A and B are shown apart, each in its own frame.
Chain A
Amino acid sequence: MQLNDWQREIEAYLLGQEPTPNPALRASLLSSPALSAEDGLAIYHNAYRARLLEAVRDDYHAVHGWLGDEEFDALAGAYIEAHPSQHFSLRWLGARLAEFIEGYLVAEQSAPLSELARLEWAFTLAFDAPEGVPLSLQQMASLPAEDWPTLQVRLLPSVQWQSCRYNSVAIWRALKDDTAFPGSVLLEQTQVCLIWRQGLISRYRSLSHAEATALQGMAVDGWSFADLCAQLSELGDNAPLQAATWLRQWLSDGLLQRYGI
């Protein structure tokens, strides 16, 4: 058999569900007294599934914890079959699990589970995102007063913005800490959770609606500090203080980089 044909047969065999080879592939292999061709093929067949399944499990501890071994393995197996790996690194294998869950389960089950999956994937994205250049409190303290009104910032590359309709953060935390499962609850109002890396440490924090609106305005929509103060005008004289308090918090969290200089 030509090399390319043989490799096509092996690839089809590994990706297929059936551990028995077709006759052409079987005939292309030799057995030894120690290891038959069928057993040798089965070693690769099992290893392929085990390796990919382990990679998905490693990235989705909470989804796994919620579903349990059997249901998770069925989900991950179906996912791997639908989305075989396209990247040289298994790091990216699980990238589309949340989206896959939406089509795999009925809507009422899939919505909270896919949200949890998105949250977990966000942690992986924050984990190895580029460093960026964090804007520090110290740098802000030395910023000339005349530069404050026009100051613009953006989120650092590791910051992941997750809008949660369910109590996914509480579920994630409970499964991580191995404490009582809180049960899935639809929140009264969508909540923003930020996931990011500060130095080498992965962090997360839920934001109030007002803080999320302010951060979105400044770090995503391009408001200047003066714009932020203007948006908070209903607070009257307290607007600059509230804006400065949030900005201090975002800087000490390590969320921001300077933009437009």
Chain B
Amino acid sequence: MSTESACLGYGLGLRSTYYQEILEQRPDVDWFEILSENYLVDGGKALYYLDAIGEHYPLVMHGVSLSIGGPHELDRDYLQRLKHLAARVKPAWISDHLCWSRGNAHQLHDLLPLPYTEESLQHVAARVRQVQEVLERPLVLENVSSYLRSADDQFSEWQFLAALSELSGCELLLDVNNVYVSSRNHAFDPWDFISGLPAQRIRQLHLAGHSDYGSYLIDTHDQPISDPVWQLYQRTLQHLGPVATLLERDDHYPPLSELLAELDKARVFAATALPAEPLCN
């Protein structure tokens, strides 16, 4: 894990609901993560606030449309627009998900899991290398929450991510909530996942809330982080040391103060987990 990522600190997902408050109040947030697709437009409010907020806070670009595991050709137009946006934003890094979101014929607009096979590994690794050539930087890939498991799997998801990182040079965005959601849905030990990843490749952590449907969980990003995820986060920090942490909320938006309080909770957990480590500034 690099010093740069360690020092980015505690961030929030930038959402339009909070644009004006952020500019007026300049809250104690170390950085913001933008959803890249929201800014791949020609003009208007989103780009105005992006520039204005970017003057005061470091930004990271996080996408949902790369479809790195998809069956289609990589979308060169999308990549060029992403690169153009990166020239404007100067993000600390650019991330997307280990998934596919576009099929042979249509956009599917979901973060669909892959079979974790040797075939998938070679397919994704080759595409990651192409993306990295265009963007001229390592791609950071996030583990998704999933509700499907292929019968053809030859790797666990964490083995696949580790091998992909090794093969392609990509870095990892570890979403602690997604690990927890998938671990409940597919009955594995979340700690096997986290401890099985190459720690030095983990650029960033995500925290978010999920919905509990009894026997299974759905990653909804519409409520506070659950206690088991906080516990897993704390253990993750003890294992990794300080890592840039980001809180995501995508629905049922509370007052900004509630998200700031949740971010402070992450700082407190980090302080407890890392007593000997200096906290990020």
Contacts and interface: CB of A to CB of B under 8 A. Distances in A.
Interface string B180-217: 00001111000000000000000000000000000110
A149 interface: no
A3 interface: yes
A129 interface: yes
Nearest to B148: A40
B102 interface: yes
A186 to B, nearest CB: 34
Best-buried of A32, A51, A130 by chain B (most CB within 10 Å):
A32
Interface stretch (B106-114, B167-175, B252-260): B106-114
Nearest to A88: B65
Interface string B40-56: 11111110100000000
Interface string B95-116: 0000010111111111010110
Contact of A10 (B42, B46, B112, B146): B112
Size category, A interface: 35 or more
Contacts of A157: 42-43
B71 A131 contact: no
B147 interface: yes
Contacts, number: 130
Interface in B31-88: 37, 40-46, 48, 65, 70-71, 75, 78
A96 B104 CA distance: 22
A200 B108 CA distance: 31
A47 B216 CA distance: 16
A11 to B, nearest CB: 3
A190 interface: no
Interface stretch (A23-31, A69-77, A100-108, A216-224): A23-31
A52 B149 CA distance: 24
Contacts of B149: 29-30, 32, 37, 40
A84 B43 contact: no
A51 to B, nearest CB: 6
Interface of B is mostly: loop
A34 B184 contact: yes
Interface stretch (B2-10, B21-29, B117-125, B272-280): B117-125
Contacts of B75: 88
B106 A89 contact: no
A51 B110 contact: yes
A33 B185 CA distance: 8
A11 B103 contact: yes
Nearest to B149: A30
Given A27-B151, A35-B215, A52 B109 contact: yes
A29 B148 contact: yes
A99 interface: no
Nearest to A10: B112
A84 B44 contact: no
Interface string A3-39: 1101110110011000000000001111011110101
Interface of B: 37, 40-46, 48, 65, 70-71, 75, 78, 100, 102-110, 112, 114-115, 117, 119-120, 123, 146-153, 184-187, 215-216, 218
Interface of A: 1-4, 6-8, 10-11, 14-15, 27-30, 32-35, 37, 39-41, 43-44, 47-48, 51-52, 84-91, 127-131, 157-158, 197, 200
Across the A-B interface, the 5 shortest Cβ-Cβ residue pairs = A11-B103, A40-B147, A88-B65, A85-B107, A128-B44
